[in-house]
């Protein structure tokens, strides 16, 4: 149960549910998830962790190239030839892919795999999670 609450809070924080979380704290504490729902939540968490890792790599790669340049001339070439402008758009695209993947995972879990929500609260939680991700998809 404690692990489930941690995952719920992690996913809630990721999607900026702070205001909803503070208003619905008691509801989240009373939310009970089935084993299949916990697996879905873990899968969503894996997707988010992958997004964090990928975005970190996108941000760090140019600087790693600079640090690995053996001479000042190579540093100048790296700075001049790097597509600095595309990093921001790549990060935005990555976030969009992550959100669309979360929507897809929830849809597959329910519609394709035929899983059912264990309670109306659980259904509401995943519906809100899907809706929030779909806004950015």
Whether 12 is in a domain gets the answer no
Contact 98, 110 (CB under 8 A): no
Query: Cα separation of 61 and 67, whole Å?
Result: 10
Whether 79 is in a domain gets the answer yes
Instruction: Give the contacts of 28 (CB within 8 A, at least 6 positions apart).
Output: 5, 8, 9, 12, 21, 125
Q: Which residue has the tokens 């100048």?
A: 76
Instruction: Give the contacts of 94 (CB within 8 A, at least 6 positions apart).
Output: 51, 54, 55, 58
Highest mean pLDDT (candidates 29-33, 67-71, 125-129): 125-129
Phi, psi of 136 (to 5 degrees): -105, 10
More confident residue, 4 or 109: 109
Other Cβ atoms less than 10 A from the Cβ of 33: the count is: 22
More confident residue, 49 or 87: 49
Tell whether the model's pLDDT for residue 13 goes beyond 80.
Answer: no
Q: What is the mean pLDDT of the chain?
A: 79
* Number of domains into which the chain is organized: 1
Q: Which domain holds residue 67?
A: 36-135
Per the document, the length of the chain is 137
Query: Cα separation of 132 and 30, whole Å?
Result: 21
Can you state the percent helix, strand and coil of the chain, rounding each to 5?
A: 80, 0, 20
More confident residue, 18 or 53: 53
Whether 8 is in a domain gets the answer no
pLDDT of residue 11: 53
Tell whether the model's pLDDT for residue 10 goes beyond 80.
Answer: no
Tell whether the model's pLDDT for residue 135 goes beyond 70.
Answer: yes
Q: Which residue has the tokens 């600079």?
A: 66
Whether 10 is in a domain gets the answer no
Question: pLDDT tier at 73 (50, 70, 90 boundaries)?
Answer: confident
Query: Cα separation of 25 and 9, whole Å?
Result: 10
Query: Cα separation of 39 and 47, whole Å?
Result: 12
Whether 21 is in a domain gets the answer no
Percent of the chain residues topping a pLDDT of 90: 32
Highest mean pLDDT (candidates 33-37, 46-50, 72-76, 81-85): 46-50
Total-model pTM: 0.68
Whether 122 is in a domain gets the answer yes
Whether 103 is in a domain gets the answer yes
């Amino acid at each position: 149960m404690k692990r489930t609450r941690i995952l719920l809070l992690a996913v809630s924080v990721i999607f900026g549910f702070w205001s909803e979380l503070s208003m619905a704290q008691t509801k989240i504490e009373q939310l009970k998830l089935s084993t299949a729902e916990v697996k879905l939540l873990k899968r969503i968490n894996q997707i988010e962790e992958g997004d964090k890792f990928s975005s970190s790599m996108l941000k760090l790669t140019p600087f790693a190239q600079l640090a690995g340049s053996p001479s000042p001339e190579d540093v100048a070439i790296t700075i001049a030839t790097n597509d600095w402008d595309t990093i921001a758009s790549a990060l935005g695209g990555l976030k969009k892919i992550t959100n669309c993947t979360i929507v897809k995972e929830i849809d597959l879990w329910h519609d394709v795999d035929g899983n059912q929500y264990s309670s109306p609260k659980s259904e509401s939680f995943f519906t809100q999670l899907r809706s929030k991700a779909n806004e950015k998809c």
